[in-house]
A and B are shown apart, each in its own frame.
Chain A
Amino acid sequence: MTAQAKAFPFPTTEKTLSNGLRVFVVEYDSPGLVAYYSIVRTGSRNEVEPGKSGFAHFFEHMMFRGTKQYPTNKYNAEIKAMGADSNAFTSDDMTVYHILAGTSALPTIVTIEADRFQHLEYAEAEFQKEARAVLGEYNKGASDPLQPMVEALYDHAFQVHTYKHTTIGFLRDIEDMPNQFAYSRQFFDRYYRPDNVIVLVVGDVKSDTVLPLLEKNYGAWTGGPSRPAVPVEPPQTKEQRTTVPWKGDSLPMVLAGYHIPAFSPSSVDSAALEVLAELVFAERSPLYKRLVLDEQKVEHIDGSAERHVDPNLFTILARIKKDEDVPYVEKAIEDEFARIAAQGTDAKTLSEVVSRTRYAFAGQLSTADKVALVGAEFLALTGNLSSIDETFATLARVSVADIKRVAAQYFTPQNRTVVVLEPEK
């Protein structure tokens, strides 16, 4: 694979409908299969009102509660008849609805998806029952200590920005969801609008047959009210630190987050931070080998610079074998960032990281559904698919000096939030 090869090499057609809805058709060799993704550029980041944390995710559930033309049971029967894999997910920055089915089902898919995005209608009783399914989802995750740890990390790392709460939301807000029926209608009115949604179709399709279908079914959709701004987080000025007690058995864990800038495909810092994550935490890294293989103090360690619309965190997780080693492991991680800030890395290692990242990305694009999933993330973050090639072009430009600079700039104690899990003795 050459560095010049396109990272996203598939024939792509893009069109903006007159109402502002943007549609992308990607022709991909998946005989008889099509992946249909509806991407709402709204996630828990947009939950700006107090007491409404978790609402974007809750609303994702409500989108399966039917319309006049396709009440829930009829919608479900259509999905079942086409033998589709259909679901949705919500993150900080996006809500994504996806259907994978036979290509012959595409006209039906467009019809039922366009219908629910424009004409969603549900009764308060159904709304309340679904609110309790969301509580069930919270309870499902609550036996994993990572859920309260992640909640504590973002709660402490952010003061005013909505990244302060996780996508599932605070338990107190989830428990109150049955009382938010009126707000749910406002949420739909505000965010489920053509200028805030992107439709992505990937698979055994031709754009000249798909585009007319999309225009016909989404053409009458209209714009809505303006949307509230998301607050800007001021710089963190001192280290934040907290503990999460855990009733029951667990390895002790450390979850740390360092503030980093918003993702941008043209940002060398974004690319350099992704490279740094590999340099520090990949299984062949000196830190991994020291803590996991040689000293055997750590069962698992990873770190990543996740892509976000607004400035977010570089997160680090370590599961540690003994309580008394927690400070030692924290210090080892800090020292490794300091070492790279001072010494950088060699050109061969940097080139291997870039090469591995490219190959790994190419390996991800192995099915229509996976191509659509990758495309959806970039569309939600940047609004276009050309940002994929741009991201990898930027990655190829990252220098050792860039690595040293971002390691020194972002990985300082005052820029850090640390959460330590303390299992009961």
Chain B
Amino acid sequence: MLLSIAVAASASQARADQNGIRTVLLPSPSIPLVTIRLVFQVGAADDEPGKEGIAALTAAMLGEGGTVQRTWSEVLDALYPMAADIHFYGDKDAYVFMGTVHRDNLDAFASLLAEQVLTPRFANDDFTRLRQDAIDTITKTLRGNDDEDLGKQALGTLLYPKHPYGYPTPGTVAGLKAITLDDVKGFYARTFTRDRLIVGVAGGYPEGFPDRYAARFSGLPLGGPRAPLPPSPKPQGKQLVFVQKSAHGDAISMGHAIDVTRGDDDFYPLAVAASYLGEHRTFNGVLMLNMRQKRGLNYGDYAYVENFIQDGWTTFPLPNIPRREQHFEIWLRPVPPKSAGFAIREAIYETDKLIREGIPAAGFEATRAFLLNYVNLWAQDGSRRLGFAIDGVLYGKDVLAELKARLPKMTKDDVDRAVRKHLSTANLSIAVVGDNVKALAEALVAGKPTPIVYDTKDTPADVLEEDQTIERYPLDVSASRLKIVSARSLFEK
């Protein structure tokens, strides 16, 4: 049966072959590079209870483990002269295995990539190495080397309690320790199926290549419908987690779950609202202007209406990390501990202002104009364009095409209505990573003022006046909804 899937992105072609394998193609004959993305709709959401991390570990066995035909060491030898590498990454609902190669080396590279996915070796030494790497990632790197990511992952535990989104994608320590090599083999057979696969090809590939290539995956079994996500509890009221560890500043993430993804109409006005509050790594958002530029609180302050991972050193979103459920998030980069309470209050104050008063007309027009051009920068090369086209298939809507089509017709009322419907600071979950967080937690619960501490002079009078409001801004935090935990206790099970 031939299925046809409409994709809004210009020049991309998406379809499914007689085996049900979906393909997304972006031909650019003049470009000498070819990108392949093999996206499986498998992620941490598929982890089995007590085996948290099995999806990520299985993906690692495919992405940096050997094949039946060769050890991982031999794969590395084969890849080297092609000047290509196999990359893989994933999240809760998908993993992608990919690479970009000069078309001189396409056939050899494509074969190796297919081999990785179709005939994994499942060698004991790969398993030992990759499972230990995953445990170290949680116990050493996440807990001790990256407070900003730790804050985001701690927020995840509040947003998604008793839900497969509620722990880091690499898993938990207990989950990883419980996984055996046989578990991984079983998980692979059940979930890396051809009905969960999309084969994406972009660039200057020869005619007929994508069909020939997609056919190589026809030997994968069919898996049947994927289990739905368990219901997300959507906690009511504010809840906070304070993560205690040695730190120079306090890293802060806050947010709440929303019922909107790129597949929903309301996503697009919400994206305008988030961009107005704080587009990732840009300087024009309300949070950035008021917290960094006016007050010198920290390095950056941003807002999102979906899970966001930055693609490498760019400022743009990483494609192929779709989620079936999403959340609103505010990210405050580390602030001085003495002003952390103020920073939390200011982020809530600015968000409340947007919800209460709506987006200012001029702010709406400027943000709409910005996004109309800015989204053109999100997919500058074939690999990223392909990634977004595949996401378009997964969500049913291509975010780039949708924004370009919807923004010219969008109104300020559309944004205000979506903001009022979906965003609320009353139900925020807040995660703070820092040293001596106990005093801050107690001050916030007691409703005490948390003034900003300036060690700079000549702060303008209007800013100082607004500071008086912000330092007393009501938080309504109950002691029963507050946890203080040590970094070492997180993600143990």
A interface with B by C-beta (< 8 Å): 1, 29-30, 32-33, 64, 72, 76-77, 79-87, 100-102, 123-125, 128-140, 142-145, 178, 246-251, 282-284, 289, 292-294, 296, 299, 321, 352, 355-360, 362-363, 366-369, 423
Contacts and interface: CB of A to CB of B under 8 A. Distances in A.
A142 B336 CA distance: 12
B374 to A, nearest CB: 4
A106 B336 CA distance: 39
A251 B377 CA distance: 37
A85 B81 CA distance: 35
B261 interface: no
Contacts, number: 206
Interface of B: 30, 32-33, 72-73, 76-77, 79-83, 100, 102, 104-105, 125, 128-129, 132-133, 136, 139-141, 143-148, 150, 245-249, 251, 281-284, 289, 292-300, 315-316, 333-336, 366-367, 369-377, 380-383, 455-460, 487-488
Query: Which among B81, B100, B102, B132 has the highest number of chain A CB atoms within 10 Å?
Result: B81
A380 B84 CA distance: 28
Contact of A84 (B147, B245, B297, B373): B373
B213 to A, nearest CB: 20
15 contacts: A129-B293, A136-B249, A136-B336, A138-B248, A140-B298, A143-B248, A284-B77, A284-B79, A284-B80, A292-B129, A359-B82, A363-B83, A366-B380, A366-B382, A369-B380
A143 B146 contact: yes
A125 B374 contact: no
Nearest to A373: B313
Contacts of B30: 29
Contacts of A144: 145-146
B380 A33 contact: yes
A145 B146 CA distance: 9
Nearest to B334: A139
Given A87-B281, A248-B487, A362-B102, A125 B141 contact: no
Contacts of B336: 135-136, 139
Given A33-B376, A359-B83, A366-B33, A83 B371 contact: yes
A129 B73 contact: no
Nearest to B35: A366
Nearest to B333: A140
A296 B132 contact: yes
A76 B333 contact: no
A121 B391 CA distance: 45
Contacts of B141: 250-251
A289 B283 CA distance: 44
Nearest to A32: B376
A128 B457 contact: yes
Contact of B366 (A30, A80, A138): A80
A137 B248 CA distance: 11
B140 A128 contact: no
Contact of B284 (A76, A284, A321, A367): A76
Nearest to A292: B129
Nearest to A423: B144
Given A284-B76, A293-B73, A356-B80, A125 B458 contact: yes
A314 B326 CA distance: 44
Contact of B249 (A86, A140, A282): A140
A83 to B, nearest CB: 2
A249 B315 contact: no
Nearest to A249: B144
Nearest to A283: B76
B245 A248 contact: yes
Given A1-B102, A82-B373, A282-B80, A249 B139 contact: yes
A1 B247 contact: no
Top 8 nearest A-B pairs (CB, nearest first) are: A83-B373, A359-B83, A249-B144, A132-B296, A128-B456, A125-B458, A129-B296, A139-B249
A4 to B, nearest CB: 16
Contacts of B140: 249-251, 423
A248 B144 contact: yes
B284 A79 contact: yes
